[in-house]
Amino acid sequence: MLKRTLIGLVRSHETTGEKARDPLLKTRYYKLSRDQVWEEITAVLKKTPGYKLLHEVPNVGEIIAERRTMTGRTQDVTLTVIAINPVKTAVDIYSASRGSLGDLGSNYRTILDIYKQLDRKLAAHKVAE
């Protein structure tokens, strides 16, 4: 966590992906249709304090939310939901803080928090890659 905080002194964004060096930031896969995963993501964001669902763009596969941190900063969070096939869906997250200073690792923690909630809700459908 100290390393993340130090990185966060200069960097104000974080993203997940196939090739992420940090295993916690690897793309998540679920054995569910894209629509089912989409519903779960929007439900999680709507019920989690601090998050505000801004836009849903189904044809592009993006869910855009805003999160207020405890320090009052605003983060823009974009979740990309991709149908790999009719019964397998990938989820990636990009989180960026508004403003010029680094985020002290808060975007990293935001991504881990969202993934943790999704993994808990969709535990029976998570695919180990």
- Domain containing residue 96: CATH number: 3.30.310.220
Range of the structural domain that residue 42 is part of: 2-127
Overall size of the chain counted in residues: 129
Task: Kindly state the average pLDDT of the residues 85-93.
Answer: 97
Distances (CA, A) of 81 to 14, 21, 39, 41, 47: 17, 21, 11, 9, 19
The number of domains in the chain is 1
Task: Kindly state the average pLDDT of the residues 73-90.
Answer: 96
Mean pLDDT for all residues in the chain? 90
CA distance 90 to 8: 26
> For the whole model, what pTM was predicted?
0.90
